[in-house]
A and B are shown apart, each in its own frame.
Chain A
Amino acid sequence: MQKNLVPQVVKLSHRSVLGMLRQPQSWAPGLFFPLLLAAVYASQFSKAVTIAGFPFPDVSFLDFVLPACVIQGVLFGSTNSASDLAADIENSFMDRLLVSPVARGSILLSRLTSAFMYGVAQAGVLICIFLLFGANIAGGAASIISIVVIAALLSVSMGSFGIAVALRTGSQEVVQSTFPLIFVAVFVSSAFFPVQLMEGWYGAIARKNPLTWVIDPTRRMAIEGFSWGDLGQSLGIIIAIGSIGIAISIRQLRKRLVRAQ
């Protein structure tokens, strides 16, 4: 089974991506809401860059929120793969998959691959729309590619937690109910306002939120230009988060395989 792993992953990933494409209701909100927020915030908070202590006083607020909106959009859709996996469990497709001679690892890998492809597509589309509306990315192609890769890998790492939930519960509803956690994680970070200007316990949490550690270097790459150091910091945090999520997913897959026997 293992020597056929790659073609199986390709086939199952293809199925997963097709399934996602055929359900626009699952990916459309991930495009609509970041664009709405970016458009609204760019107008509402355009003068915020003049506040004393704002870290990037010479840029437009649209440039400031661009990386965060891309990451937000990708995160909102990061549960799609997990939700589809839960649907497979609910409608017994998973049982049929398990009685076939398919490599078990390909079940997990295909979902992570589709999460990555979703992240690349969504980040690419969002950046194109932002550029059309006058956003500026200082580092050029290197920064754009870096933002897309960061967003896509973040989709995989956060999606892996959703996949673990899907494998554990086998319920789409439970997977969907994890969405508010992502919402909270995005808002209690530096996504829409610099943490330097946040006060009290809220600011303290935002400063310790790993998403802030991903968003800040990504933002520097968009505003100040590409830097290997910033790329390394973002990817390091994402890989650390993803390693935990994937380890939990593998554990849950093994448990499900034991239950299925």
Chain B
Amino acid sequence: MSSMNSPYVPSIGVVLAGIQRGLIRLQRIPSLILPAVLMPIFFVVAFSGSFASIVELEGYETDKAVNWMTAWAVMQGSAFSGMGAGGLAGTDLENGFFDRLRVAPTRPMALIGGLVGYCVCRALIPITAVLIVAFAFLGADMPGGIMGIAMVYLSGIGMAVVMSFLVLGIVFTFKTLKSLAIAQIIMFSSMFLSVGQAPIQAIEGWLHHVAAINPITNVIRMCRQGFLGEVTWSITQPGLIALLGMMAGTGIWARIRYKKVDA
């Protein structure tokens, strides 16, 4: 115990140790990161290629499908990376290591913070990989300049944090790695029911209403704005609010479910 007053180890140290542990595991089992890198790269290539002509429709604001689909692929990569927290926690829960962590003199949010921090570091890899492929091989534009790139990273990291919290809550509830399948379904559904692949003007029927209220829509717009034009506060602000709201909601969910691990 480093402090005379607190029975807990300082949280920042625990968070950093959690991140370090996750990254060492990633280094030792590189196959863990492969799907999170290859899938979004495939998404940007496949969707830009398959739907090359879709930008002729009203609302796309660009003449290249890659400018529209790169943000979508970045979000997918970040969400996949967020699943890593659930993978690590699920493995620890199944082999009993998590019980040992829980009896250590650490705050729950420090343990959760370590897992989430690890996913944020993980997310930087697919975000960067997608951007390299989009710019170097698919001819993506970035009229938003450095601010546009910053928005891509900010949105991607934010989405990784949200998905980490969400998946951790699910894994703490079911206490098994197999529950990642449920997390995948929620993740895919929430991402697809947004403006990921089409602008709101082009979407018809029930999906138009769902996409309009889906907070991920605002995050994707924030991520995408630099590919379509200048970065503006009017697009950034709703994205930030959506991200902060989702982080708060999913963070509380993860913390509540953590308490139920013993139940």
**Partner-B contacts on A (CB < 8 A):** 25, 29, 32-33, 36-37, 39-40, 42-48, 50-53, 180, 183-184, 187-188, 192-193, 197-200, 202-203, 206
Contacts and interface: CB of A to CB of B under 8 A. Distances in A.
A48 B57 contact: yes
- By size class, the interface of chain B is 20 to 34
A51 B207 contact: no
19 contacts: A40-B197, A43-B207, A45-B54, A46-B205, A47-B58, A48-B54, A51-B54, A183-B42, A184-B46, A192-B51, A193-B51, A193-B54, A198-B49, A199-B52, A199-B53, A202-B45, A202-B46, A203-B49, A206-B50
Interface string B83-126: 00000000000000000000000000000000000000000000
A36 B192 contact: yes
Contacts of B38: 180
B33 to A, nearest CB: 14
A47 B178 contact: no
Contacts of A37: 192
Given A43-B203, A44-B207, A180-B39, A29 B181 contact: yes
Given A36-B189, A51-B53, A188 B207 contact: no
Contacts of B56: 51-52
A203 B207 CA distance: 29
A140 B38 CA distance: 41
A172 to B, nearest CB: 14
Contacts of A197: 52-53
A51 B49 contact: no
Contacts of B53: 48, 51, 53, 193, 197-199
A47 B204 contact: yes
User: Nearest 3 pairs between A and B by C-beta?
Assistant: A202-B49, A43-B207, A197-B53
Contacts of B181: 25, 29
A29 B185 CA distance: 8
Given A198-B49, A202-B50, A202-B52, A184 B204 contact: no
A43 B206 contact: yes
B16 interface: no
Contacts of B50: 187-188, 192-193, 198, 202, 206
Given A184-B42, A187-B50, 8 more contacts: A33-B188, A43-B203, A45-B51, A50-B57, A51-B53, A52-B56, A197-B52, A197-B53
B205 A43 contact: yes
Nearest to B56: A51
Contact of B52 (A25, A39, A198): A198
B9 interface: no
A188 B208 contact: no
B185 A32 contact: yes
A47 B42 CA distance: 25
Name the residue among B45, B50, B189, B205 with the largest chain A CB count within 10 angstroms: B50
Contacts of B185: 29, 32
Interface string B23-54: 00000000000010011001001101111111
A50 B208 CA distance: 19
Interface string B42-85: 10011011111110111000000000000000000000000000
